[in-house]
Structure 1
Amino acid sequence: MSVPVEKQGLRQSMAWLHTWGGLWACWVLFVVFLTGSLGVFDEPITRWMKPQLPPAGAARDADDRAARAQAVRVAQAYLSQQVPRSHFWGIALPSDADQAVRLFWEDAQEQFHTIRLDAASGEPLQATDERESEGGHHFVHMHFEFHGGTAGIWLVGFFTLAMLVGLVSGVITHKRIFKDFFTFRPGKGQRSWLDAHNAVSVLSLPFQLMIAYTGLATFYALYMPVGIAVHYPSEDAYFAELLTQPEPREETGVDAAVTALDALLLGSERQLKRPVGFVRVEHPGDSSAAVVTFGRSIEKSGEYRLLGEGGGQVFFDGVSGEQRDLQAPGELRGGVAQDVQSVMRNLHFAAFGGYAARWLYFICGLAGAAMMATGAILFMVKRRQRSLHEFGARTPQVYRIIEVLNIGSISGLGLACIAFFWGNRLIPLGVDGRAEWEILAFFVVWLLTFVHAARRPVVAAWVEQLLATALLCLALPLLNWLVVGDQFVRYLQRGDGERAGVELMALVLGLLHLWAARRVWQRSQQAVGARPLRPGQPMPAEGL
């Protein structure tokens, strides 16, 4: 008999909150953690998905300032001709990750546009020229906004807050949490899932608390906009004052050409004593409001400190070319509060520590995903053994919906992720919007896994999706060899460790999924042997 709510103590109340709050949040949070773990290695994934790029660390000209200046010239010529007046221009200069010039702009209707140009000629690159792909950035966008823009960021923020509640309530509920960490009883059904859930939870608890809190702090201006809206005319004005940068000026509506950016680029690099990676022009074409900013793109190279971005920025008047401000590399602005927020942001994005930090985040992120998965499965394992009839006559239907959501969210997401890699190799190069087709393939496969889970018995759905994921993972190097003509051994011979690492990890994950499918099948067969089935009775789900 359940304890009446008014007579429940703190632990019982926290147990209810942890169980039901965690259940409805775990599916979204599993997606956040798994895609975030993959997103830690977004650059190697992008490099594998774009075979035209050179290996990481490939030798480049000792002084390619002239090439960067030429890239800025062709970018400015294209933008001046196509969108002379815009909310902003963005120019990403060629790098190891992309040899093209990438242009970004917002038109008069604030619609976002992007295009890639040949860095030497300025000609737009067509889809047939290179393997267009979102690459590993797809997983980054899934991690923090589900490709949903601002609405997606709010969605992830809500469930991140729910995660903090779940972590605290979980610590209160499990009074023997550290003792349980050293307890594992394999092959015991519900007890095994509980032990696994406790183990991965305690192991990664500090990381989970840190990653959830810093994720919320990263978007503080979006989640708590009222203070900024009351005291400042715009968010740009707030950050300009906070970071003591040139305050934005009102637009006059009077046309004026943007100053030559190539000369400003070379001057900025001399002051920053490092190459510039990104150019931003605010309100190009306006005689007063146009501002040009030169800076360096954020990289996970280990060069950046935990406190401070390290890259530096130079600000110029967009019409006269007069320098308005210089933020030297490593210079901190905004006071103590902004310094703390900078530390939180860099902690969340692993913008320090090089590969050691990235592998640590990857492992801890997978542990967080395992925590969500084991919690969701544990909920159903307990209720298969003894239903609590929480929803009255509709309880079996609700339990079935939860089973489907578990399968589609956990095994289905893994299948969709590896399908994204297969889409990169199978979608023809000449398709318009090819990168969007890859992302569409990801979502279509993911949706189909929910349909499959709804149509199949529980154990059969788990086993079939795990086997499908294993097959696609193990066959990925073969697919790459057939389509691109490259493979794991050649990557190692060329010293291309990033691409080789992607294929090696695909093989490891394929073997893990194969083992998981085998374990689920064996457990189901043991359950069948222990309890004979009636003719036509579906396979029991106790194997989980």
Structure 2
Amino acid sequence: MKDGFRQSMAWLHTWAGLLVCWVLFLVFVAGTASYFRDEISLWMKPELHAAAVTPVSNDIAAQNAIRMLQKEAADSPRWFITLPTQRNPELSVGWTSPPVKGEKGRGKFNNAELNPATGERLAEVRETRGGDFIYRLHYDLHYMPAKWARWIIGFCAMFMLVAIISGVITHKRIFKDFFTFRPKKGQRSWLDAHNAVAVLALPYHLMITYSGLVTLMFMYMPYGAQVAYNGDEKAFLAESFRQAEIKKPARQAATLAPLEPMIAQAEKHWDGGQIGRIVINNPGDANATIQITREREKKLSHLRQSMQFDGVSGTMISTMGDETSGAAESRGVLFGLHVAEFANPLIRTLFFLCGLAGCAMVGTGALLWAVKKRQGYAKVLAKGGRVGFGLRLVDGLNIGAIAGLPIALASYFWANRLLEVGLEKRSEAEIRWFFIAWGIAAILAQIRPNRRMWQLQLLVGGALFALLPVLNVFTTDSHLGVTLLQGKGPFAVAGFDLFVLGFGLMLIYAAKRLASKKLALKMNAKDKAIEIKPKDGEHATLWEAT
């Protein structure tokens, strides 16, 4: 603290952000893309595009699903029906096979995608994780136990929260910084950009970081519930998140009541709220029960409301989620704000743009540290020397994370189109290509962490993204010539193609700028260091090429 409180906060801001910035960049990129994960999943399943343009009512879709399940899964103890929504046109059904005699555990889980209008199976819908892989990647990190990954992400999120708060403290004139941008000024421009995107979406950055920690609060801080309920986790969950009671089968055949009156009663009870999922326990049995769950969209809280009906008489048994405790509802609202499933297209786009600002904030922050450290090597570089191991490592990590991640994402989408539709474990093969591409980019970045590597990786990532709509022309019947020019097909598919085209061109433009202009990432003998002395307790050191 000998240098003053703000200088100490500047040190804390720098190191709290730097130590975890590459993981945070992945989290921000994947989390931002997840705001449109349903649209990404739709694009990655072109076999569903025809069904997406013929929307049907929940009643018809549910009847078709029941008809299919009665035909193919009559002996199953449980049926699951996920109804189509405006963002996800897929009618999905699932069921558990009866357990094999003599074997412990539940039976095998089966699922199928149906045409909502006809109830027929959609032939050869390619197996893919779609946008769900990107969503889970931002907090599960895929190739490691989920619990370890969530602890890592929680640790990084706490560092992020510290970096945000210390950044606000250290920038005394934070709002003036927001309105200050000096283009073509080397490192000054990078710092101005970092300040601008940080302040522009500051409420979002605070909300998304804090709410991310709240979503996993029972894992990070379980001690209060353990003490209050004497270690009985089931009792805590039962009281906090009430679940429907499942009866044991009566072993007596009975006809399932029609779903239409139950759906109408549920929608009326929720003031027009849409149905999202239907679970039928013990279908065809006298103790059958039907649980109807509300769709999350248009409801701020992540907590879902549901109603349980008698499967034979159709009478309502109970409701869940209508009245919740203040603590549970507070967590549900913070969770809902984090995932933004309540948002309409305009608000979702606003969240997406704020997420992009977060990506830019983390990326520019990582670059600024490397620029600052490189100034100490100015004389060494002027004599033809090399930078130290630490800076070389950070430069390589910056390239691998910031420029390599777009290559990995684009490779994931290319694999979706190029891999054989009927390939066994196809979804895992798509994910492998994501990590293979990213691994190659990261290794090359460590071998040659220089400006030419930035150019190469940005150019490759840009080309892969920009050519995706072209690839669509040769691999599907729902390319831009159909979805945009002819208006035949889901607009979400056209929107995805237009976005990746624009994003790819932006990366190519960035690579071109690197080729035509010396940036401050690599100083030469003619570069001059300019020291901006702190004013009023501020802390800033900048460099620009003369």
What CA deviation, in whole Å up to 9, does each residue of 1:8-28 have, x standing for no partner? 432232222211121111111
**Alignment partner, residue 466 of structure 1:** 458
Residues 20 and 270 (structure 1), Cα distance of their counterparts in 2 relative to 1, 3 Å cut: same
Residue 115 in structure 1 maps to residue 111 in structure 2: yes
Partner Cα distance (1:68, 1:452) in 2: 52
**Higher deviation after alignment, 12-21 or 356-365:** 12-21
**Alignment partner, residue 276 of structure 2:** 277
Question: Residues 62 and 81 of structure 2 are in contact (CA less than 8 Å); yes or no, is this contact kept in structure 1?
Answer: no
Amino acid at match of 1:502: F
Residues 234 and 419 (structure 1), Cα distance of their counterparts in 2 relative to 1, 3 Å cut: farther
**Alignment partner, residue 522 of structure 1:** 516
**Alignment partner, residue 336 of structure 1:** 326
Question: Residues 262 and 314 of structure 2 are in contact (CA less than 8 Å); yes or no, is this contact kept in structure 1?
Answer: no
Residue 23 in structure 1 maps to residue 18 in structure 2: yes
Question: Residues 250 and 287 of structure 2 are in contact (CA less than 8 Å); yes or no, is this contact kept in structure 1?
Answer: no
Residues 401 and 78 (structure 1), Cα distance of their counterparts in 2 relative to 1, 3 Å cut: farther
The share of aligned pairs that are identical, in percent, is 38
What CA deviation, in whole Å up to 9, does each residue of 1:381-417 have, x standing for no partner? 11111159xxxxx982222221111111111111111
Match runs of 1:258-277 below 5 Å:
262-263=256-257, 265-273=259-267, 276-277=275-276
Partner Cα distance (2:137, 2:507) in 1: 22
Partner Cα distance (1:526, 1:227) in 2: 51
Coordinate RMSD, CA, aligned? 3.8
Residue 360 in structure 1 maps to residue 350 in structure 2: yes
Amino acid at match of 1:369: C
Question: Residues 232 and 238 of structure 1 are in contact (CA less than 8 Å); yes or no, is this contact kept in structure 2?
Answer: no
Amino acid at match of 1:412: G
Question: Residues 72 and 262 of structure 1 are in contact (CA less than 8 Å); yes or no, is this contact kept in structure 2?
Answer: no
**Alignment partner, residue 204 of structure 2:** 207
Match runs of 1:477-496 below 5 Å:
477-492=469-484, 493-494=486-487, 496=490
Partner Cα distance (1:81, 1:432) in 2: 27
**Higher deviation after alignment, 90-99 or 338-347:** 90-99
Residues 261 and 512 (structure 1), Cα distance of their counterparts in 2 relative to 1, 3 Å cut: farther
Unmatched tracts of structure 2, length 5 or more: 268-272, 379-385, 527-543
**Alignment partner, residue 308 of structure 2:** 315
Match runs of 1:384-395 below 5 Å:
384-386=374-376
**Higher deviation after alignment, 311-320 or 216-225:** 311-320
The alpha carbon displacement at 1:89 in A equals 6.4
Residues 45 and 7 (structure 1), Cα distance of their counterparts in 2 relative to 1, 3 Å cut: same
Residues 275 and 526 (structure 1), Cα distance of their counterparts in 2 relative to 1, 3 Å cut: closer
Residue 139 in structure 1 maps to residue 134 in structure 2: yes
Tell me the TM-score normalized by structure 1.
0.80
Question: Residues 449 and 465 of structure 1 are in contact (CA less than 8 Å); yes or no, is this contact kept in structure 2?
Answer: yes
**Alignment partner, residue 538 of structure 1:** none
Residue 227 in structure 1 maps to residue 227 in structure 2: no
**Alignment partner, residue 103 of structure 1:** 94
Question: Residues 315 and 323 of structure 1 are in contact (CA less than 8 Å); yes or no, is this contact kept in structure 2?
Answer: yes
Question: Residues 49 and 478 of structure 2 are in contact (CA less than 8 Å); yes or no, is this contact kept in structure 1?
Answer: no
Among 495, 498, 503, the alignment partner of 1:509 is 503
**Alignment partner, residue 170 of structure 2:** 173
**Alignment partner, residue 382 of structure 2:** none
Among 237, 240, 256, the alignment partner of 2:238 is 240
Residues 527 and 415 (structure 1), Cα distance of their counterparts in 2 relative to 1, 3 Å cut: closer
**Alignment partner, residue 377 of structure 1:** 367
**Alignment partner, residue 529 of structure 2:** none
Secondary structure of the corresponding residue to residue 446 of structure 2:
helix
**Alignment partner, residue 326 of structure 1:** 319
Residues 229 and 104 (structure 1), Cα distance of their counterparts in 2 relative to 1, 3 Å cut: farther
Among 452, 472, 493, the alignment partner of 1:499 is 493
What CA deviation, in whole Å up to 9, does each residue of 1:187-243 have, x standing for no partner? 333222211111111111111001111222223233322333441776554343235
The alpha carbon displacement at 1:461 in A equals 1.4
Amino acid at match of 1:204: A
Amino acid at match of 2:217: Y
What CA deviation, in whole Å up to 9, does each residue of 1:313-372 have, x standing for no partner? 112578998753124xxx742222223222212222223341110110111000000000
Residue 163 in structure 1 maps to residue 160 in structure 2: yes
The alpha carbon displacement at 1:280 in A equals 3.8
Partner Cα distance (2:161, 2:428) in 1: 33
**Higher deviation after alignment, 314-323 or 174-183:** 314-323
Partner Cα distance (2:107, 2:453) in 1: 42
Residues 341 and 275 (structure 1), Cα distance of their counterparts in 2 relative to 1, 3 Å cut: closer
Residues 11 and 512 (structure 1), Cα distance of their counterparts in 2 relative to 1, 3 Å cut: same
Amino acid at match of 1:363: L
